[in-house]
């Protein structure tokens, strides 16, 4: 996968997570699969709107759908969330390292004042 493809996938995922309804759907799906109707019960919006939110999450790769007879349950794609977490952690760790270096400099300055 190219760098551009990875960035495009990250963009779709973060854009999808920018909406509070979709974040709530992800939170619900973290507890187990759910159908469109089950997800629709959680929100004061139409089933059509819920279906559009699900489509955005599915396009972003954050959820998948399967077929179980008449049911089409949605499932959380944990690997996609792990990819987002890894991307965030890379920058979090860099910032933490900078803070540790700054703390060391400040500690040295304090010791020199004593």
| Euclidean distance between CA atoms 65 and 29, whole angstroms | 11
Q: Which residue has the tokens 């969330």?
A: 81
Q: At residue 1, does pLDDT exceed 80? A: no
- Domains (range + CATH), the chain: 3-113 (1.10.10.10)
Distance between CA atoms of residues 114 and 104, nearest Å: 16
| High-pLDDT (> 90) share of the chain, % | 57
Instruction: Tell me the per-residue pLDDT of 8-25, one tens digit each, with 9 for 90 and over.
Output: 989 999 999 999 999 999
Residue 7 sits at the vertex; the CA angle it makes with 90 and 25, to the nearest 5 degrees, is 85
> Residue 23, CB half-sphere, CA atoms under 13 Å: how many?
6
State residue 76's pLDDT score.
95
Q: pLDDT tens, 48-91?
A: 999 999 999 999 999 999 887 788 899 999 999 999 998 889 88
Please choose, from the candidates 66, 72, 76, the residue with its C-alpha nearest in 3D space to the C-alpha of residue 22.
76
Longest dimension (CA), the chain: 75
């Amino acid at each position: 996968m190219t760098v551009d493809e990875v960035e495009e996938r990250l963009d779709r995922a973060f854009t999808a997570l920018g909406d509070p309804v979709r974040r709530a759907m992800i939170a619900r799906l973290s507890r187990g699969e759910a159908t469109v109707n089950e997800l629709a019960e959680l929100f004061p919006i139409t089933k059509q709107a819920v279906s559009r939110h699900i489509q955005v999450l599915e396009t972003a790769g954050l959820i998948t759908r399967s077929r179980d007879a008449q049911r089409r349950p949605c499932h959380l794609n944990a690997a996609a969330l792990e990819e987002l977490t890894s991307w965030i952690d890379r920058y979090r760790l860099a910032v933490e390292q900078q803070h540790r270096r700054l703390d060391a400099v400040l500690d040295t300055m304090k010791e020199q004042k004593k």
